[in-house]
Chains A and B, each alone.
Chain A
Amino acid sequence: MSGLKIKEKTIVVPGEILAAGMDYLPSFGTYREGDNIRAGRLGIAQVEGKVIKLIPVSGRYLPKRGDMIIGKIIDVSMSGWRVEINSPYSAMLMTKEATNEFIDKGANLTRIYNFDDYIVCGITNVSSQKLVDLTMRGPGLRKLRGGRIIEVNTHKVPRIIGKSGSMVGMIKHATGVNIIVGQNGLVWLNSEEPAMEVLAVETIRKIEAEAHIAGLTDRIKEFLEKKTGKKIELGSEQREERKDFERKEFENGNGESQ
């Protein structure tokens, strides 16, 4: 009784047997127990050659090296800041990664980042013990001022960003709202036009709800055109340049795949 036990791209629940025998190899989100490969979380199973992997549909954010995230300062210590990153693990931002400027020994670190400040930062390393290291050195990494932050399902983030930033680029273009999408499911929005900000939030919620239905980009385009009353041209200008941190992500194949 060996071989695949499920059809490809079906939703599986934790503990479900995906394959029996040694013909397949467990990958992300799956594990081997005896002869069987089982699902480790709720998600969609994918078979690539001999490798079975699982794309989670729910659950908390798990930090990954190279991700650009939005975090909140929860502690200021002698050598850096502890950051809450909407994940089971908190992260550490060391002083030498905090700014490009020189920080005096014994300087008051709250002057740079204080409690409850929100920052856009990158993950430089995640150890096997899940100690997360952050950096503020990189393009687009900064402290956030004003605006609002909403929480979205972290597994829908690739859909919100779209292929090389096309989806979020379209929302930005149509509404004129400044948007930063963190891989950890926190989205920062800011605009001078509050009505447009409301529309941008509405659009993101729509993407989140309909992420699994085909033809998402066209539907969102139609939705935005109807709401703003302006025509959106899907051209090269929407495929705007993403920050280095995210681009690396897409090269690793974590972006939207259709």
Chain B
Amino acid sequence: MIIDKRKFIDVLAKGIRFDGRKPDEFRKVKIEYGVTRSAEGSARVTLGETIVIAGVKMEVSKPYPDTPDQGGLMVGAELLPLASPEYESGPPGDWAVEVARVVDRGIRESHSIDVKKLLIRKAELAWTVIADMCVINDAGNILDAASIAVLAAMRDTKFPKLVGDVVDYKTITKEKLPIKETPVAVTVYKIGKELFVDPTNEEEGLADARLTITTIEDGTLCSLQKGGESPLSVDEIDKMIDIAVKHAKVLRKSL
């Protein structure tokens, strides 16, 4: 669909969007667990027509010298060319790196994973959590879909069996990955003076600015990521945070 930017702002002010939704209305969210067999934990998130699959692999490696008593976390994003005409194959582009960074920061800064519990032997061996997400279809709002997909995959993750210092990936134990919090990212978009959530591709392309807000259950902010060229006022940021907290609560229920 091709839409006129000025008209989009006018219509948004009347409280309705081009697909009939309200400005602060999410599309339908569906989360399925355990969708891939090769990963220790996985989830597929469907947000309207947007589909993101996330998988978690557990690896053992030497802890970093500056944190000898902690395990590690790695998040990567892959934007498959089949997901959107915008994406090309090859090394990850700016957008893929940003998506991975935002998701990574939300999980890391919320201290969701008890990294000390990932330690096997101090300064010698620890688990590393590797979360990868694949965007299967980009119909807008990849950031929020990816964040919830990775969180769901992590909650689905069980440790594989450790034989000596080697991982036996064929045997999965019953022990789950220790996840303490539920960091959910909600991106609030701004166009003109209007704020809205969960954009479609067309709306994403027209928006002036966006702010991704990751919060945990009690409403504590874990991370913020601003995008777009237009500036945001303090007032607007306050409003955006309120919207994000409200929607994060709803999204958390679908986990």
Contacts and interface: CB of A to CB of B under 8 A. Distances in A.
Contact of A148 (B3, B16, B20): B3
A13 to B, nearest CB: 25
A145 B3 CA distance: 10
Contact of B16 (A149, A151, A198, A202): A198
A215 B57 CA distance: 55
Contacts of A150: 1-2
Interface in B57-107: none
Question: Chain B interface secondary structure, helix, strand, loop or mixed?
Answer: loop
A149 B2 contact: yes
B119 to A, nearest CB: 55
B18 interface: yes
A190 B6 CA distance: 13
A148 B19 contact: no
A107 interface: no
Interface residues of A, number: 14
A146 B1 contact: no
Interface string A188-203: 0010001101100010
Contacts of A145: 4
Interface in A99-158: 118, 145-151
Contacts of B16: 194-195, 198
Contact of B20 (A118, A146, A198): A198
Nearest to A198: B20
Contacts of B2: 118, 148-150
Contact of B6 (A146, A149, A197, A202): A146
A145 to B, nearest CB: 8
B7 interface: yes
Contacts of B7: 146-148, 190
A247 B117 CA distance: 75
B13 to A, nearest CB: 10
B140 to A, nearest CB: 16
Interface in B1-30: 1-4, 6-7, 11, 14, 16-20
Nearest to B7: A146
A150 B3 CA distance: 9
B9 to A, nearest CB: 11
A145 B7 CA distance: 10
Given A146-B6, A148-B18, A194 B11 contact: yes
Contacts of B3: 148-149
Given A195-B20, A198-B19, A198-B20, A148 B4 contact: yes
Contacts of A198: 16, 18-20
Contacts of B6: 146
Nearest to B4: A146
A62 to B, nearest CB: 22
Contacts of B11: 194
Contacts of B18: 148, 194, 197-198
Interface string A144-180: 0111111100000000000000000000000000000
A116 to B, nearest CB: 9
Nearest to B20: A198
B56 to A, nearest CB: 38
Contacts of B4: 145-148
A195 B11 CA distance: 9
A197 B7 CA distance: 12
A148 B206 CA distance: 13
Nearest to B6: A146
A190 B20 CA distance: 14
Contacts of A194: 11, 14, 16-18
A6 B54 CA distance: 49
Nearest to A70: B2
Sorted nearest first, the 10 A-B pairs with minimum C-beta distance are: A198-B20, A149-B2, A194-B11, A194-B16, A148-B3, A146-B7, A146-B4, A150-B1, A195-B16, A194-B14
6 contacts: A147-B7, A148-B2, A150-B2, A151-B1, A194-B17, A198-B19
